[in-house]
Chains A and B, each alone.
Chain A
């Protein structure tokens, strides 16, 4: 997982490259660097964030260059291992996003042939291979070099004296932004929003030659036309607008995200995707695959679909499924991926397709790889999410799952009407949670002093407890565990005590009574309890140590409001502890390596 950018045109490349890189830091930020071509190639890189590197740099001339922000896989974050990497003569520079599987073999070969490789990275073999094959034709040399590589190699190569960049895409995303007598290259759309709204999405196996006024794409040596797309995101979508952190801004955007996502679904006369079998019969079962936060959305999806549609649902982690999972051709699979580029997920989709299983993808990124290899894509309308901790995309995924299930629900018409009415009310209910921010921040201050926190939930809110724990640990570095309330007594009870608070997500459904029992058991072990309860609840006030109320809502939709409370809770805990909320250590937004 890394971010790469390139520029060729008439302006100075340096500020453009650095600005684009800063927009890609969500893809990794342990080190970064740029290479600019003027009279020769000048490379500047270090184990720094983009902002720090920007300050440290001299002014470079040159209207062509490449840049990279890194999430380390091969070799620790260091100046030496940062990209761009060069050949022996320092005439070729390469930035790369991916993993080269046969790099050790290539490296040994190159070293034996007299090349001097200095870093521990897999990437460094690429410039040396290009150097080896170069006979005056830059493009050909890149093609030959890539031919030797096994693995994923989305990359950009720059060569001294060459008025063009050679780029390739394999397994990680890459787009080309079209400008006026200038062209841009980047891993993702947000990097280019300041400069252009016209982009070309490269496909796997594409090699493109980009000059200031032309883009030529080839697949297997033959020229191919890739359609130009217009980006509808605005720059504004990617700025903080008053908020201290992107995460808080994105949490606050959620009422609008729900409204936008719903408007699109509701106005389409048809269901979001077909959830029936081949001949319209009902499915035997549905498989949901995802990773991380999306996996938690998938778990909620299980309760939604089983509750409404009456079909058994299996939820698996995409990566685990790749090793041992089974699916039959008669099934449907729903794959949830924010970016549509997560490697583990893409692998799982390909595996599903091989077995003949039809795949519905839920993703936030139009034109992403996942959407292009799926049978059907349901888009969430969350806009670009910059904060590494996912918030609004998670909520939008839940909305997509509700909307997938509702047309196939087996509930009576009165209940269905009520549910449609309630789902339309969600923007306001979420807004009410946001309006209660001060009370949630107060509770967060109490939690911030602890080092271990348990989250419990039951039924459809069990995954919300897991998601709440994930949010807390990823941004506040507090050790947190999400448990099904009933499981606590099978082990974790041993860890309870006055130093281990428990956050209980309580819903007004058939789980209410057992949750009350669980909380009593926890109180008996002296753990402080923070309970999330509906505003109509009257008993919890006397039972829990502190209470956060959420607006009254049908229990089926309670995960939506509860997850917003837990997002704010995690945010304010992290802020209280002085953590870098938007850029937690060791994490990256979408993981495009295994």
Chain B
């Protein structure tokens, strides 16, 4: 297999506010968009010819991935104007596909070993994984290593084996992509016509982000595998333990403690006397003022956090300004998204470019939309739509 087609057109509505200005594939985990994990996994398995099917907010993909040179691959872009489904997305590249190729979702986080065996497989084939909660996924029933059928989100699952959305195809697939919208339907039709679809099980990393708070658990999982690298300036008197990455031009000032796994981007100003605790990712150009503690959280680019803040189990998107004494600590909460209300343990999910004045407390599970402004000493809870003003 020399070619991969990566489906990166989708929006990810349930991930709002984080997907209002970017596609799901560009959500940042451990300071890298999910899509970059996919591309790096392909490159490490020797697949360098990559076609991206892009659509929703495609410029964000262009801006970050460019021509692929930086990642050692060659990227060609194809646009899917309306996001009708995965089979429709795949049919956009009909004329560019080689005889055999891989298809991968751009919004599932994988690592090189996840697909190491699969890249050698003979098409048609799909990669499956055993999970504990199969009803969230496409459940695959199998006969030996052969796929019998795929049922999307069944009420009761007949097996624990689910579809990862990673496939190996020949051009025959294009005979089936015109009449249906999603690839599993196309596969069911192929099976009905007598094609053999092989299934290969992987035990490797395969993580999906469905809800905003999934970003936190994924970040935690991925950070465990980072390599230590310290750029920038670490002042004497700063204490760094465990796996910590610090980018170029970042300053970590005296009295600060950073306990890995932690990733800090470039151009940041941290401290003095700031504590950054495990499972935290911090983007580029971020300022964290004295006496602030951050734990198990994801902080985007260009964020400024004032003095005396306590933030845990939270996601703060790019460009937010949090003045002094901001508090957002994880706790048990129920959040309704599209009729589903899972019970979770989170702090705040805050969209981009919010301006929060001092002494604001966010109750567990609050979702703050993009571009919100919150006045001094407020307690916020529930869900704030984009551009909310809290007086």
From residue 55 to 78 of chain B, which have CB atoms closer than 8 A to chain A? 57-59, 61-63, 65-70, 75, 77
- Name the residue on A nearest B269 (C-beta): A266
| In contact, A262 and B285 (Cβ under 8 angstroms) | yes
From residue 375 to 430 of chain A, which have CB atoms closer than 8 A to chain B? 421, 424-425, 427-429
Determine which of A239, A266, A429, A432 lies in contact with B249 in the assembled complex, contact meaning CB atoms within 8 Å: A266
| In contact, B267 and A240 (Cβ under 8 angstroms) | no
Question: How far apart are the CA atoms of A421 and B233 in the complex, in Å?
Answer: 21
- Name the residue on A nearest B54 (C-beta): A242
With A242-B58, A242-B61 known to touch, is A267 a contact of B267 (CB < 8 Å)? yes
- Encoded as 1 (CB less than 8 Å from any B CB) or 0, chain A from 237 to 268 comes to 00111110000010011001001101110110
- Name the residue on B nearest A193 (C-beta): B69
Residues of A within 8 A of B77 (CB): 242
| In contact, A428 and B301 (Cβ under 8 angstroms) | yes
Residues of B within 8 A of A421 (CB): 287, 304, 321
In the assembled complex, the CB of B282 is this many whole angstroms from the nearest CB of chain A, namely 14
Question: How far apart are the CA atoms of A264 and B233 in the complex, in Å?
Answer: 13
| In contact, B301 and A236 (Cβ under 8 angstroms) | no
- Asked if B202 is at the interface of the complex by the 8 Å CB criterion, the answer is no
Determine which of A234, A235, A240, A425 lies in contact with B302 in the assembled complex, contact meaning CB atoms within 8 Å: A425
Question: How far apart are the CA atoms of A582 and B65 in the complex, in Å?
Answer: 21
- Asked if A497 is at the interface of the complex by the 8 Å CB criterion, the answer is no
In the assembled complex, the CB of B317 is this many whole angstroms from the nearest CB of chain A, namely 9
| In contact, A259 and B69 (Cβ under 8 angstroms) | no
- Asked if B318 is at the interface of the complex by the 8 Å CB criterion, the answer is yes
- Asked if B129 is at the interface of the complex by the 8 Å CB criterion, the answer is no
- Asked if A434 is at the interface of the complex by the 8 Å CB criterion, the answer is yes
- Name the residue on B nearest A240 (C-beta): B67
From residue 283 to 309 of chain B, which have CB atoms closer than 8 A to chain A? 284-285, 287, 301-302, 304
| In contact, A259 and B284 (Cβ under 8 angstroms) | yes
- Asked if B250 is at the interface of the complex by the 8 Å CB criterion, the answer is yes
With A263-B249, A267-B249 known to touch, is A425 a contact of B319 (CB < 8 Å)? yes
- Asked if B352 is at the interface of the complex by the 8 Å CB criterion, the answer is yes
In the assembled complex, the CB of A257 is this many whole angstroms from the nearest CB of chain B, namely 11
Interface centre among A235, A243, A256, A425 (most CB of B within 10 A): A425
Q: How many A-B residue pairs have CB under 8 A?
A: 98
Determine which of A234, A262, A425 lies in contact with B70 in the assembled complex, contact meaning CB atoms within 8 Å: A234
| In contact, B250 and A239 (Cβ under 8 angstroms) | no
Question: How far apart are the CA atoms of A41 and B251 in the complex, in Å?
Answer: 58
With A241-B66, A241-B75, A437-B59 known to touch, is A267 a contact of B250 (CB < 8 Å)? yes
Residues of B within 8 A of A236 (CB): 66-70
| In contact, B353 and A432 (Cβ under 8 angstroms) | yes
In the assembled complex, the CB of B113 is this many whole angstroms from the nearest CB of chain A, namely 27
| In contact, B21 and A263 (Cβ under 8 angstroms) | no
With A259-B285, A262-B285, A427-B285 known to touch, is A249 a contact of B250 (CB < 8 Å)? no
Residues of B within 8 A of A424 (CB): 285, 287, 302, 304
Majority DSSP secondary structure for residues of A touching B: helix
- Asked if B266 is at the interface of the complex by the 8 Å CB criterion, the answer is yes
- Asked if A513 is at the interface of the complex by the 8 Å CB criterion, the answer is no
Residues of B within 8 A of A428 (CB): 301-302, 318-319, 352-353
- Name the residue on B nearest A432 (C-beta): B353
Question: How far apart are the CA atoms of A234 and B72 in the complex, in Å?
Answer: 12
Residues of A within 8 A of B68 (CB): 236, 241
With A235-B69, A421-B304, A427-B302 known to touch, is A243 a contact of B62 (CB < 8 Å)? yes
Question: How far apart are the CA atoms of A22 and B57 in the complex, in Å?
Answer: 31
| In contact, B285 and A239 (Cβ under 8 angstroms) | no
Residues of B within 8 A of A262 (CB): 267, 285
Question: How far apart are the CA atoms of A262 and B69 in the complex, in Å?
Answer: 25
Question: How far apart are the CA atoms of A259 and B69 in the complex, in Å?
Answer: 21
| In contact, B232 and A256 (Cβ under 8 angstroms) | no
Question: How far apart are the CA atoms of A259 and B59 in the complex, in Å?
Answer: 18
- Asked if A179 is at the interface of the complex by the 8 Å CB criterion, the answer is no
| In contact, A267 and B233 (Cβ under 8 angstroms) | yes
- Name the residue on B nearest A267 (C-beta): B249
Residues of A within 8 A of B267 (CB): 259-260, 262-264, 266-267
- Asked if A116 is at the interface of the complex by the 8 Å CB criterion, the answer is no
Question: How far apart are the CA atoms of A256 and B62 in the complex, in Å?
Answer: 13
- Name the residue on A nearest B283 (C-beta): A259
- Asked if B248 is at the interface of the complex by the 8 Å CB criterion, the answer is yes
Determine which of A252, A259, A267, A551 lies in contact with B62 in the assembled complex, contact meaning CB atoms within 8 Å: A252
In the assembled complex, the CB of B238 is this many whole angstroms from the nearest CB of chain A, namely 15
With A263-B267, A267-B232, A267-B251 known to touch, is A425 a contact of B69 (CB < 8 Å)? no
- Name the residue on B nearest A252 (C-beta): B63
Residues of A within 8 A of B285 (CB): 259, 262-263, 424, 427
Residues of B within 8 A of A108 (CB): none
| In contact, A239 and B69 (Cβ under 8 angstroms) | yes
- Asked if A435 is at the interface of the complex by the 8 Å CB criterion, the answer is yes
In the assembled complex, the CB of A104 is this many whole angstroms from the nearest CB of chain B, namely 47
Residues of A within 8 A of B65 (CB): 241-242
In the assembled complex, the CB of B236 is this many whole angstroms from the nearest CB of chain A, namely 15
Question: How far apart are the CA atoms of A427 and B63 in the complex, in Å?
Answer: 13
Question: How far apart are the CA atoms of A259 and B267 in the complex, in Å?
Answer: 8
From residue 238 to 269 of chain B, which have CB atoms closer than 8 A to chain A? 248-251, 266-267, 269
From residue 1 to 60 of chain B, which have CB atoms closer than 8 A to chain A? 21, 54, 57-59
Question: How far apart are the CA atoms of A431 and B284 in the complex, in Å?
Answer: 15
| In contact, B301 and A259 (Cβ under 8 angstroms) | yes
| In contact, B266 and A242 (Cβ under 8 angstroms) | no
Question: How far apart are the CA atoms of A327 and B84 in the complex, in Å?
Answer: 65
In the assembled complex, the CB of B313 is this many whole angstroms from the nearest CB of chain A, namely 24
Question: How far apart are the CA atoms of A435 and B370 in the complex, in Å?
Answer: 13
Provide a sorted-by-A list of 15 A–B residue pairs whose CB atoms are within 8 angstroms. A234-B70, A236-B67, A236-B68, A241-B66, A241-B68, A242-B59, A242-B66, A243-B62, A259-B284, A260-B267, A262-B285, A263-B284, A425-B319, A427-B318, A551-B371
Q: A428-B302, A434-B59 are in contact. List 5 more A-B contacts (CB 8 A).
A: A252-B62, A259-B267, A259-B302, A266-B269, A267-B232
7 interchain residue pairs of minimum CB distance: A263-B267, A428-B319, A236-B69, A242-B62, A241-B66, A267-B249, A263-B249
